[in-house]
Amino acid sequence: MAGATQFVDANGLKFGYLAEGCGPLVLLLHGFPDTAHSWDDLRPRIAAKGYRAVSPFLRGYQPSAVPDRDPDQETLTRDVLALIEALDARDAVVIGHDWGASAAYGAATLRPDRVTKLFVIGIPHPAAVRPSLKKLWGVRHFAAYKLPGAPKRFARNDFAALPAIYRRWSPTWHPDPSEFDAVRATFANPASLNAAFGYYRRLSPIPSASLKARITVPTIVFAGLDDPIVAPSDYRGAARMFENEYIVEEVQGGHFMHREHPEAFAERLLAHL
């Protein structure tokens, strides 16, 4: 199992991370509302296959340092590339979920020589998603989280909004309350909570440069069959953004499919690793 949190400097910031195993680097990037512990089931499974599995806490997520400004897409992209270098690797397999998926897409676009294989969970390529009323309603938090006071509202009543988000994005999942402990611990630091909302404050409806070019890295995307916002067809429709192998894996679960059905999910992912 992973030991104590380790730290590394990358892209001008100190990142905390959890690591297991030895071998080629596999970088696992979490999303919102999540932490590096999102990968506590998958990380040791990857390590057992002969890899060095590393899950960092994204910038601003305690114990990683809180930046002095909200991050844009290019910053998140360069965080991934800088972490690969800071972890003494020439390249890495990159696995990303939610915001981590967005960063992973950008890294594979900007420096395909640094990403040997790309795994993306829960987010079709942003430049290929066709908007609809259903999708816009499903991502209404994009606007709500930009509003002043959003972090404080999220923290009310011991983060009652936290399990509500999981219910909305993964409606067939009924997690044990302990599933939220790691997130509550991170967001107990108001500066860290505010930093997490900073991702949304800088979010633009116009794809950044790192999300406009086609990806040449072999890619496997995971589509949740119970996801109420995006369907497997959205992932298949994004194939035009990829010039190499592009595989859509349809698995049980919603947006947090890797945590809803961890064993089945890991089996499907490891088959491609």
pLDDT for 118? 98
Residue labelled with tokens 């406009």? 212
Arithmetic mean of pLDDT, 174-194: 95
Residue 70 within any structural domain of the chain = yes
Arithmetic mean of pLDDT, 141-157: 94
pLDDT, tens digit (0-9, with 9 covering 90-100), for 4-14: 999 999 999 99
**Where do the H-state alpha helices sit in 28-111?**
42-47, 73-86, 99-110
* Total structural domains within the chain: 1
HEC readout, 228-246: CCCCHHHHHHHHHHECCCE
The strands making up 6-10's β-sheet, listed across from edge to edge, are 6-10, 13-20, 52-56, 25-29, 92-97, 115-121, 219-224, 246-251
**For residue 155, how many other CB atoms are within 10 A of its CB?**
18
Tokens of 251: 């698995």
Residue 1 within any structural domain of the chain = no
HEC readout, 154-192: HHHHHHCHHHHHHHHHCCCCCCCHHHHHHHHHHHCCHHH
Q: 136 pLDDT band (50/70/90 cuts)?
A: confident
* Across 79-93, 122-136, 236-250, least confident range: 122-136
* Across 58-67, 121-130, 193-202, 251-260, least confident range: 121-130
CATH code of residue 187? 3.40.50.1820
Residue labelled with tokens 């999540």? 34
Q: 1 pLDDT band (50/70/90 cuts)?
A: low
User: What pTM does this model have?
Assistant: 0.96
- Domain range spanning residue 103? 6-272
